[in-house]
């Protein structure tokens, strides 16, 4: 039997039993669509997070006080001492590294911000002028913190768009004064709306010079130091330099944690890939269920078409030909279902993109290959037994009316 004839024969069967064909297409389609849709969502979330990290600046090295690896859960607690503070001098020392372009020490706290009678509790971030370069932030109005000695307490601040709207209403905020604790600051800039960027919502913060924040919160210790390497390739050198410089300054003690952007990104990437894979696996179960449905339908077909099978054998069909006919039918049905599923999956993806344009929903290439392949392979595997049963039918008995 020629391949073209085999396909034609199976096609005639598929067309001949419309309801049955539609039901199988539906079951297979749902399975494939589920895998495609679910992996699209997972991959979308992953790409979203990767992009978010990208907006932080790709050459970023983050220095945290305390060493998490040596002490397990809480740095310092288990070894019985608190880590040495990370100070401004530590941060400034890092500038001597050839691999480092910018540094921005950070102090963070929450405080009540007053404008006349209005009060709002907001996060207050103390940093230096270089922060704007490292974090690729944008100033909508006015300017960012001035380049100045970071030890100098300047009474200026840059505020987020939402803070400006809430504290000043419709009035222009630029050049006005506001009060944080017992200190007064002049508003010299308003940040552009950037929305959430990994827990840092620049719309809702007030940024003051580092020394001012240290005075406000009465602390010398830095929350973090952000370091930007000169290039992506230099990130590792920058990291090594940072570790070495701080160790030397801390009397040989390795008591800070240095994270590169890439490492954090890689971790998130791994977690989200694993998650996507896991949900895709769950969705793939529906494909197995569809396979069982195909088996069921094929077993019924063998009974229903008993006479036809008997006839084919009388006309000289070999067992292999009968098996091939059933398996071809399964391949046709499952690839049809896979096509339907891919189409529906793309529709779901399209709908999701319309709803959440910020998230780049996109089915990963492996899912687009694996879902249809799993559908076809499952269908073929589950048709093996019915096809064998058909091939073994005794022609005389199959042809008889009973």
Partner 1 sequence: MIRLTGIERTFAVGDEMVRALRGVTLEIAQGEYLSIMGPSGSGKSTLLNVIGLLDRPNRGTYELDGRDVTGLSDDELARVRRETMGFVFQFFHLVPRLSAEQNIELPMVLAGIEPAERRKKLARLLADYGLADRARHRPQQLSGGQCQRVAIARAMSMSPLVILADEPTGNLDRHTGQEVMAVLERLHHDGGTVVVVTHDPEIGARAHRRLRMIDGAIVSDERAPEPIREHTGGAEA
Which positions lie near partner 1, rule CB under 8 A?
Answer: 1-2, 4-5, 9, 12-13, 15-16, 307-308, 310-321, 395-396, 399, 401
Q: Taken in order 2, 328, 369, 44, is the CA torsion positive or negative?
A: positive
Nearest distance in Å: CB 5, partner 1: 5
**If we measure between CA atoms, which residue out of 251, 231, 293 comes closest to residue 99?**
231
Distance CA 282, CA 35 (A): 8
Dig out the tokens for 129 from the structure. 């002028």
Q: Which residue, 9 or 237, is less far from partner 1 as judged by CB?
A: 9
Distance CA 37, CA 278 (A): 13
Q: Which residue, 23 or 353, is less far from partner 1 as judged by CB?
A: 23
**If we measure between CA atoms, which residue out of 279, 295, 273, 263 comes closest to residue 380?**
295
Q: Helix (H, G, I), strand (E, B), or coil: what is residue 159?
A: strand
- CA atoms within 13 A of residue 92's CA, in its CB half-sphere: 8
Q: Which residue, 67 or 388, is less far from partner 1 as judged by CB?
A: 388
Cα–Cα–Cα angle for 342, 343, 344, rounded to 5 degrees: 95
Nearest distance in Å: CB 390, partner 1: 13
Q: Helix (H, G, I), strand (E, B), or coil: what is residue 155?
A: coil
Nearest distance in Å: CB 16, partner 1: 3
Q: Which residue, 24 or 283, is less far from partner 1 as judged by CB?
A: 24
Q: Which residue, 3 or 117, is less far from partner 1 as judged by CB?
A: 3
Q: Which residue, 84 or 323, is less far from partner 1 as judged by CB?
A: 323
| Sole residue written with tokens 């008997």 | 310
| Sole residue written with tokens 């909508």 | 140
Nearest distance in Å: CB 331, partner 1: 18
Q: Are 46 and 295 in contact (CB under 8 A)?
A: no
Q: Are 109 and 88 in contact (CB under 8 A)?
A: no
Q: Which residue, 2 or 171, is less far from partner 1 as judged by CB?
A: 2
């Amino acid at each position: 039997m020629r391949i073209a004839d085999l396909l034609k024969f199976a096609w005639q069967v598929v067309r001949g039993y419309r309801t049955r064909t539609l039901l199988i297409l539906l079951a297979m389609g749902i399975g494939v669509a589920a895998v495609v849709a679910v992996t699209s969502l997972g991959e979308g979330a992953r790409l979203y997070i990767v992009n978010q990290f990208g907006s932080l600046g790709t050459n970023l090295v983050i220095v945290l006080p305390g060493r998490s690896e040596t002490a397990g859960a809480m740095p310092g607690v288990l070894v019985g001492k608190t880590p040495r503070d990370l100070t401004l001098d530590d941060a400034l020392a890092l500038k001597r590294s050839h691999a480092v372009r910018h540094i921005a020490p950070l102090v963070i706290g929450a405080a009540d911000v007053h404008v006349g009678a209005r009060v709002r509790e907001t996060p207050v971030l103390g940093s230096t002028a270089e922060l704007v370069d490292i974090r690729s932030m944008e100033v909508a109005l006015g300017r960012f913190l001035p380049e100045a000695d970071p030890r100098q307490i300047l009474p200026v601040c840059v505020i987020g768009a939402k803070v400006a709207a809430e504290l000043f209403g419709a009035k222009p905020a630029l050049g006005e004064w506001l009060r944080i604790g017992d200190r007064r600051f002049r508003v010299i800039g308003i940040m552009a709306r950037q929305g959430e960027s990994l827990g840092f919502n620049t719309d809702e913060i007030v940024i003051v010079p580092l020394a001012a924040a240290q005075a406000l919160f009465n602390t010398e210790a830095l929350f973090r130091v952000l370091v930007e390497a000169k290039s992506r390739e230099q990130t590792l050198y920058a990291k090594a330099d940072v570790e070495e410089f701080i160790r030397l300054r801390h009397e040989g003690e390795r008591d800070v944690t240095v994270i590169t952007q890439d490492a954090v990104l890689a971790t998130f990437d791994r977690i989200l890939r694993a998650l996507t894979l896991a949900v895709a696996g769950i969705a793939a179960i529906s494909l197995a269920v569809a396979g069982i449905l195909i088996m069921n339908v094929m077993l019924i077909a063998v009974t229903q078409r008993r006479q036809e099978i008997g006839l084919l054998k009388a006309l000289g069909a070999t067992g292999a030909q009968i098996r091939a006919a059933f398996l071809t039918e399964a391949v046709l049905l499952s690839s049809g279902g896979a096509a339907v599923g891919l189409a529906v999956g793309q529709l779901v993806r399209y709908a999701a993109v319309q709803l959440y344009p910020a998230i780049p929903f996109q089915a990963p290439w492996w899912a687009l290959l694996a879902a249809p392949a799993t559908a076809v392979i499952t269908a073929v595997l589950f048709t093996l037994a019915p096809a064998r049963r058909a091939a073994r039918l005794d022609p005389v008995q199959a042809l008889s009316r009973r």
